[in-house]
């Protein structure tokens, strides 16, 4: 969800203004996913590298996450949306960890769709943590395969993403779902995240539908 800072600067406002607009943009996009029949939406909210930002910006982001959990969860739960929070829990405040546990527990049986919030998340960190679990469980080397690693990722129940959308013209993976995105399609738009809406999502999906996915094989003649 790139471009919050640029969106704010173009309006002569502080970065916090852009982050707040970015948080508000999530819900309409998620509901647009429902309309399009998309069952899982993963949003990259805060990376393991984002801790390098100024203390003030990090504090603002964490406060916005906490506010969003309080403000939006009941509506998500009523719409039968299951909430996952992917990422390392250590480093997060006790309040946010408690909110995460509450949201995941209360929405566990929901079947209307999935919102996967990647918070304190890094693709490399996720793979490292999966390997650590294998070691802790004393899994034999010959038993370690792709399935064994996949089963120990943060949200093993979720499918690999079909489509990854990069807003604000960014054209790199940025440590996002590195294991899961091995064969994902990428779509890049210059639209800044706070301006990204249903029409932008429809354009991305339409572009995706015109592609042929080979998964390493050749398409059928």
Q: Which residue in 129, 100, 118 sits closest to 181, CA to CA?
A: 118
Confirm whether 50 is a catalytic residue: yes
Taking each helix axis as running N to C, give the angle between helix 198-209 and helix 15-36, from 0 to 180 degrees, rounded to the nearest 10: 50
Confirm whether 2 is a catalytic residue: yes
The tokens for 58 are 């990090």
Annotated active-site residue in 4, 35, 50, 77 = 50
What is the DSSP track for the chain?
A: ---HHHHHHTTT--HHHHHHHHHHHHHHHHHHHHHHT--EEEEEEEEGGGGGS-HHHHHHHHHHHHHHHHHHHHHHHHTTEEEEEES--TTS-HHHHHHHHHHHHHTTT--SEEEEEEEEE-HHHHHHHHHHHHHHTT--GGG--HHHHHTTSS-TTSPPPSEEEE-TT--S-TTSSTTTTTT-EEEE--S-GGG--HHHHHHHHHHHHTS---TTSPPP-
Q: Which residues are catalytic?
A: 2, 50
């Amino acid at each position: 969800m790139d471009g919050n800072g640029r969106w704010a600067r173009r309006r002569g406002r502080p970065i916090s203004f852009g982050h707040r607009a970015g948080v508000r943009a999530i819900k309409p996009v998620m509901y647009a996913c429902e309309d399009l029949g998309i069952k899982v939406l993963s949003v990259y909210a805060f990376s393991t590298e984002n801790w390098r930002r100024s203390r003030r910006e990090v504090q603002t982001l964490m406060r916005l996450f906490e506010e969003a959990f309080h403000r939006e969860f009941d509506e998500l739960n009523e719409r039968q949306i299951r909430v996952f929070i992917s990422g390392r829990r250590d480093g997060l405040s006790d309040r946010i960890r408690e909110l995460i546990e509450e949201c995941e527990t209360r929405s566990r049986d929901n079947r209307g769709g999935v919102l996967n919030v990647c918070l304190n998340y890094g693709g490399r960190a996720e793979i490292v943590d999966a390997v650590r679990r294998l070691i802790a469980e004393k899994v034999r080397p010959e038993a370690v395969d792709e399935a064994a690693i996949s089963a120990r990722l943060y949200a093993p129940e979720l499918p690999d993403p079909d489509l990854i959308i990069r807003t604000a013209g960014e054209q790199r993976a940025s440590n996002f779902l590195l294991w899961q995105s091995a064969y994902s399609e990428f779509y890049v738009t210059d639209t800044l995240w706070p301006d990204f809406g249903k029409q932008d999502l429809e354009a991305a999906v339409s572009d995706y539908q015109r592609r042929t996915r080979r998964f390493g094989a050749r398409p059928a003649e």
